Amino acid sequence: MVSCKCNFNVGRGLSLPFIYDVKIIESKMNQKLDRLLSQAKIEISEQQKQQLIDFVKLLDKWNKAYNLTSVRDPEEMLVKHIMDSLVVSLHLEGNQFIDVGTGPGLPGIPLAIINPDKQFTLLDSLGKRITFIKNAVRELKLTNVTPVLSRVEEYQEKQFDGVLSRAFASLNDMVNWCYHLPNASGRFYALKGQYQPEEVDEINQPVKQVDVIKLQVPELVGERHLVVLAKK
């Protein structure tokens, strides 16, 4: 008897075991996303779930070359990037939003996926991030996202119902840099870890605190808060 060691290839030279591995990984991600959404009591369509998974896959792929995030594990991205963004959705008021210092599109892209009726401008000063976002917008077929390469203080195009950011270390920095962006009734939405009340007192622009919401992000270790501010 002559043994034959065969290497079956399909498609573009991808071996069957590789394809099975990819399908297993995606299945695990779908199961985890379903569990996280259920825990957060967030209901979205199957198409939106797939877009979120596809976004994580794109981020993981680009991250290997462009170092867009320190989170390397796609399943960890579901918690630290996707769910950490989605839990903000319920608290947004208005239709026009800008995500300042968006990085690789966070929280802007996940929020845009589950809010197709709202418009999101994603602003960042680093070219590789905006290049990634443009690619993600094209791949995910998002029609409500506008990527902008600019420094925040130089962006004067329009005003918004809401200014979002996870990028600023302090509320004072966020308000100072972004004060020109909200419209008359617009709000600042700052995603923070621990909430320090004295941060609001240190803001040197005329603003008022509207709300502080303790966010519940399933499977995330550590506190998360959404601080909502408005101009006086």
Summarize the annotated binding site for S-adenosyl-L-methionine as residue ranges.
101, 106, 152-153, 166
Task: Tokens for 228, please give them.
Answer: 């909502």
Binding site, by residue number, is 101, 106, 152-153, 166
Would you mind telling me the total number of residues written for the chain in this entry?
232
DSSP characters for 106-174?
TTHHHHHHH-TTSEEEEEES-HHHHHHHHHHHHHHT-SSEEEEES-GGG--S--EEEEEES--SSHHHH
